[in-house]
Chain A
């Protein structure tokens, strides 16, 4: 019987309190007749069978009633219900979206087996990290073969783009060449076919396809295995297809080929181009592995002092590829989302407190009519949680819908999909946010309302919600104002940063330039004369097209090809590469400067006549002159670069090669013919730039197809890739920032709105509470202005406190994101002033209606209500 009595606690408290004695009675009566050896067991089972289903059903009954009641009471105050749902949706939606993005980029495991044990090795020196030379890779790997090694495997790969012929139109294929160890290290098996073997690494000429490429070029036919494709003019056999979600090292790679390392590749230790991937042995810590690498590289340093001096081995996780800026961008967004959550919580708490105060009488009446306290609290909780759940569902739905908009913030350097997806963990997180907003900030007021003494409420008429509630609500308004000031200042600083970046002169005219890439395959195009034929033919015909003003070929476009630097020596003696003598190197055809709108300051452009038989010449940028011959006439000066002595024949304006936000090396431009056959192949001109008469959108009718025809006629096997306008390339520079700003801007606007409503709600309530006092004041002769001033002062005091707190926190936060601010100081007075002013204006607007209402109230009627 005691057991049954305990079980009865499973019923809803109200039911239990009402019927527990009778239930015991009836159960005792019913089981009294039971006799026999199994009576105890039968009673036990009967108790369980009786209580559990009925308790559940009773809970369901109560819930249904409460939901019905909540729905009715919320429908009576649709403004409140809608506001609450929107506020929760906002907080939950913003946080779900931003945190799933952060989770996706920072936390979620990369799509390889035991991805956290995979590391990348770099050659590290004081200047930073570098790719690895084949010889150093071989020595590291040899050391790793020892049984005590920290690594269970090591492999190397490098990026390689190849022209594909033999599967539809010729096209440019982004591939990776990898040693046979790499794919097994990742622990991913091919969907069909096989991966590379040691024999492939000697012979080459096989290829593994990505799933997407297999689908698009071969229609997903399984018979693709064994088919031949021609890559850069060499026949390769397809040996396998990787699974759909596999990407390595990032999503742009469409095929993998074996990396063939021959004896001659190991000769030059200073030629660094390999990316090295390794897997930590189980139970080995990163620290142990680092120590071991230090020992190995110290040995190599002693063995090869000339090349390896100061070169260590740097070990980084796969996620460390993420740039500092991308990381900060996301962290800033997370911070903003948390601000919104804080705001939503404060607002919700304020809303529920006000509602609790409004309903105190209703609750008191119900309580007086016999509703138990538990029953009332339970009903309020149902209402709160119901509202939060609806708001949460709306928020999550909005977050899912908004995910594609955030795609720009997913860094392309990581092997993850383009778009964050919602997974169970993020949903759990979202539920957490809902419970936090709903329970913590709805429950407290509910409990308060349940606790309040029924009789007191009835006795005090309408004057409810004592001083404590008011002070709490005032504090919440301060929090709301502070949060919105923080958001406003941070977005303001970032807007100023983007403006500054966008105002930077890139050094060329971005409008009306179409660019595309034709990478000439080697070894076919190793002879300069063969390349010259191609360029001449294409350029001559493109320049003749209607609507084309000029055209030229260049090694790489600014902001697209950021590297490509070479040491400069004035004397011809060999120099060690360092910050003081590196210059950006480009080979080009004549009229490149005119096409891109780079101003020619002195001398002349390169010419078709600048051939190998003529003196070697160069056009240099102003900063190059400034660095080497300040205050001298640069024309006719000589310097050594790229294996030959060059004479300066022209000076042009500087270009932001490395992008708008970074300083660039001085630039040197060399005529495309003044190079030996098969030499400096990394700098062969491949980008065609075309200046058009009007806007050169990619869709310029007829232009692109005509250029395609011209290229096809010049070389039917030559693919075209990277079709973009120069304006797009420049816009890409600030695209992630602009996306982030849109988000931050939207969040700040919403925050401001919420804070404004918070102030409005609080003051409206205070004014109605103080109607009598205000009436007395008016009756005693207070003017309209006095009353308005009284209410405004109260609102503005809160706004000022909030603004001060907000400015302090924003300053601290801004100092932490210096890398994003691009020379805008965290204490930027303009931004802070504008943000504070915006906030105060909003506060005044929020105060205005309640103030006017207070002023226009009839003193007599206010007094009469007493």
Chain B
């Protein structure tokens, strides 16, 4: 299987997975930071529970979308915390999902659908 097929196999992504990918786009984060980031970006609409988060993380690690980083811990950091970052493959998958979503939106627009009800 080449990369393209691997990516296609993963799509469409579960919303939680996509949000986690977005949260890790700009920097490495630990679990709780991911929860906070997602919550802030969705204006409180999506609040990941710890269980959902780590179940997603476990799967994403296995799928190779993200990876754990050995990161120097600051004094203020809880030593139990683990940090994650996107892999190149994860970035590619996030892009592919974005393409898929925007294509859907384009299609809907072309049929004359508008987000606001008039």
Contact = CB atoms under 8 A, between A and B. Distances in A.
Interface in A36-73: 46, 49-51, 53-55, 57-58, 61
B42 interface: no
Interface string B62-97: 000000000000000010111000000000000000
Nearest to B54: A19
Consensus secondary structure, chain B interface? helix
B55 A58 contact: yes
Contacts of A30: 32, 35, 49-50
B103 interface: no
B59 interface: yes
Contacts of B31: 22, 25-26
Contacts of A51: 51
B13 interface: no
A22 B81 contact: yes
A266 interface: no
A53 B53 CA distance: 13
Consensus secondary structure, chain A interface? helix
A498 to B, nearest CB: 63
Given A25-B80, A29-B32, A57 B55 contact: yes
B74 to A, nearest CB: 15
A57 B49 CA distance: 14
A55 B55 CA distance: 9
B40 interface: no
Given A29-B32, A30-B35, A61-B59, A22 B80 contact: yes
B102 interface: no
A406 B52 CA distance: 54
Interface residues of B, number: 18
Interface string B4-44: 00000000000000000000000000111001000000000
A24 B82 CA distance: 12
A26 B50 contact: yes
A272 B35 CA distance: 90
Contact of B49 (A19, A54, A61): A54
A21 interface: yes
A27 interface: yes
A29 B81 CA distance: 11
B54 A26 contact: yes
A19 to B, nearest CB: 5
Contacts of A29: 32, 35
Contacts of B50: 23, 26-27, 30, 50
A556 B118 CA distance: 96
A22 B52 contact: no
Nearest to A54: B51
B49 A49 contact: yes
Contact of B58 (A19, A25, A26, A50): A19
B51 A23 contact: yes
A587 to B, nearest CB: 88
A27 B53 CA distance: 11
A54 B52 contact: yes
Nearest to B78: A25
Given A30-B32, A30-B35, A61-B59, A22 B54 contact: yes
25 contacts: A15-B54, A19-B54, A19-B57, A22-B31, A22-B54, A22-B82, A23-B50, A23-B51, A23-B54, A25-B81, A26-B50, A27-B50, A29-B35, A30-B49, A49-B49, A50-B49, A50-B50, A50-B52, A51-B51, A53-B51, A54-B49, A54-B52, A54-B55, A61-B55, A61-B59
Interface of B: 30-32, 35, 49-55, 57-59, 78, 80-82
Rank and list the top 10 A-B pairs by shortest CB-CB distance, nearest first: A54-B51, A29-B32, A21-B80, A50-B49, A26-B50, A26-B31, A27-B50, A50-B51, A26-B32, A19-B54
Given A26-B31, A55-B51, A57-B55, 10 more contacts: A15-B55, A19-B54, A23-B51, A25-B31, A25-B80, A26-B54, A29-B35, A50-B49, A54-B51, A58-B51
Interface of A: 15, 18-19, 21-27, 29-30, 46, 49-51, 53-55, 57-58, 61
